[in-house]
Amino acid sequence: MKVSSLKSFAVASFSLFMILFSNVSLANDDQHGDQGHAATEEKKGFDANKVIFDHVLDAHEYHFLDIPGENGHSKPVTLPLPVILYSPQRGFDVFMSSKFEHGHAIHNGYKLVDGKVIAVDAAGAKDESVKVFDISLTRNVVQMLVALIVLVWIMTSVAKKYKKGIGVKKAPTGLQNAVEPVITFVRDEVAKPNLGHRYTKFLPLLLTIFFFILINNIFGLIPGSANVTGNIAFTAVLGVISFLVIIFSANKHFWSHIFNPPVPGFVKPIMVLVEFLSIFTKPFALIIRLFANMLAGHIIIICLISLIFIFGGLKAAIGWGFSPISIGFSVFIFLIEILVAFIQAFIFTNLTAVFIGQAIEETHHDGEHHDLPDDAVII
């Protein structure tokens, strides 16, 4: 709750600053006329919106920094990625994103505009007659592949040690010490309480979801990397996977409760609609929760850093004076985001287990007691 309040306060503060600065800029424009407007544009230099969206959105390259060059032009330092295009009219085309020269050049009849590849004609205008399917290895895709490789490497290296008896006949070593408590935690605190004796069937899925989200969350905190879990497409795929598992694991009791809820007859039509919609709202909640939390943290950090340059645009001394405050708050939020990375992985995994548990729950009858030893005393 405190984290949410802090994020809301930070976003509100940034919005207030932006409004104030916008008003100051407009007043200067009105006072100095066209020449003042040109000077303001030349002095502005820093575009906070561009910086924010360039970081949180997908791209065909990794952008790290800009090196100031001659005549006020900066040279971006990037890592280009493969561009893979298919057009029914032109066929397949594969090349590196550096060919676009950051959107300033046309290559093989294609151009990069606002992060999207479009087909152009000989004059450089968009060619509406050419349909383009972009199946490129964007930075989100590359980072997911890297996260997958890291996940497989961690689990296979730990499994090899267990096969050798390390961690079974003697104490675990190395990476096992970090991974084993997490696996035990997911098993004992997530799988068993929500799934009962059938937890072993779904434990591999829950562990995969937890570690995959966690690794991508942590990778997203590295400067210059992609915020994969802050992409709605990524969380949507995870939500769809959870939805399919819930649907295909559901038993007769679950579907009976959906289409024949135990309520009075005159309320039943309304409750059937509500229960049916709940099938879809559960995965939707998973999708939005992970996406919003991971996206918000990154935006807040970038906004706090951007305040240095916004203040600096007004006066250099103000920018330097505000730098320690901005950096201090950014580091504080960054440390919170490390905690949030673990929390959101846990919440997504736990809610998935809860929803699966509801789908496979058996009918309970009065007087029945499950999973109790023969000599147990009922009070």
Q: Give the pLDDT confidence of 21-80 residue by residue, as tens digits.
A: 334 333 344 444 444 444 443 444 567 677 777 777 888 888 887 787 776 677 888 888
157-182 burial, b for 16+ CB within 10 Å, e for fewer? ebeebeeeebbeeeebeeebeebeeb
d(CA 191, CA 352): 10
The predicted pLDDT at position 254 comes to: 84
User: Which of 5-14, 218-227, 339-348, 354-363 is predicted least confidently?
Assistant: 5-14
What integer best gives the mean pLDDT of the chain? 80
State mean pLDDT over 250-255.
86
Per DSSP, 371 falls in state S
State mean pLDDT over 310-328.
85
Condensed to tens digits (0 to 9), the pLDDT of residues 69-117 reads 776 677 888 888 999 999 998 889 999 988 888 888 888 888 988 888 8
Amino acid at 85: L
61-91 burial, b for 16+ CB within 10 Å, e for fewer? bbeeeeeeeeeeeeeeebeebebbbebeebe
The predicted pLDDT at position 192 comes to: 92
Per DSSP, 70 falls in state G
Cβ(190)–Cβ(349) under 8 Å? yes
Closest CA to 212 of 333, 355, 341: 341
Taking the whole predicted model, whether its pTM rises above 0.85 is answered as no
53 alpha carbon, distance to own chain's centre:
14
Q: Would you state the structure tokens that stand for residue 327, as one six-digit string?
A: 């950096």
